[in-house]
Amino acid sequence: MFNVKATAEDSALDLALAYAESGFSVVPLLRHNKVPPRELGSWERFKSEQPTTEEITKWFQGRDDLVVALVTGKFLVIDADTPEAVTWAANNLPVTPLKVADISIVTLSLAITTSLEAKVATLSHHVT
């Protein structure tokens, strides 16, 4: 099963680097409205390629106003952002290599952002 090693003490930069190391294409989104920051420019190229470690570091270092977004297209994201939804997903959805769930994390938020042309999954809290 897929498992990104992260803790509540990890920064968004730590989490972004962990996801990138696991093969995911990550981009930053502003925490308050879940849209890409201006300095990102277009994130379209990240649908087909991963950002470099240097790009990820430049985006996230010293920023606490960003969340990590995973560019989807190769996987489906199910929104489970309440304890009841997480429990339902854990009990009713099949185990897959990318299933990420920890019922003890109440603030887990894997949301599909439909305001972007391609779907982007956002994590608003660290997954352990």
Q: What is the pLDDT of residues 2-29, one digit of tens each?
A: 556 666 678 899 989 988 988 889 999 9
Angstrom distance (rounded) from CA 127 to CA 85: 16
pLDDT of residue 98: 62
Structure confidence by residue, pLDDT tens digits, 32-41: 988 899 988 8
Name the DSSP class of 40.
G
Which of 111, 55, 58 is CA-nearest to residue 81? 111
Where does the pLDDT of residue 116 fall: very low under 50, low under 70, confident under 90, or very high at 90 and above? very low
Q: Domain residue spans in the chain?
A: 12-123
Structure confidence by residue, pLDDT tens digits, 44-103: 889 889 999 999 999 999 998 999 988 887 777 777 778 888 888 888 888 776 655 443
Tokens at 26, concatenated: 């990550």
pLDDT of residue 52: 96
Angstrom distance (rounded) from CA 64 to CA 11: 8
Angstrom distance (rounded) from CA 126 to CA 112: 17
Angstrom distance (rounded) from CA 24 to CA 42: 18
- Tokens 């939804």 belong to residue: 85
Where does the pLDDT of residue 109 fall: very low under 50, low under 70, confident under 90, or very high at 90 and above? very low
pTM, full prediction: 0.65
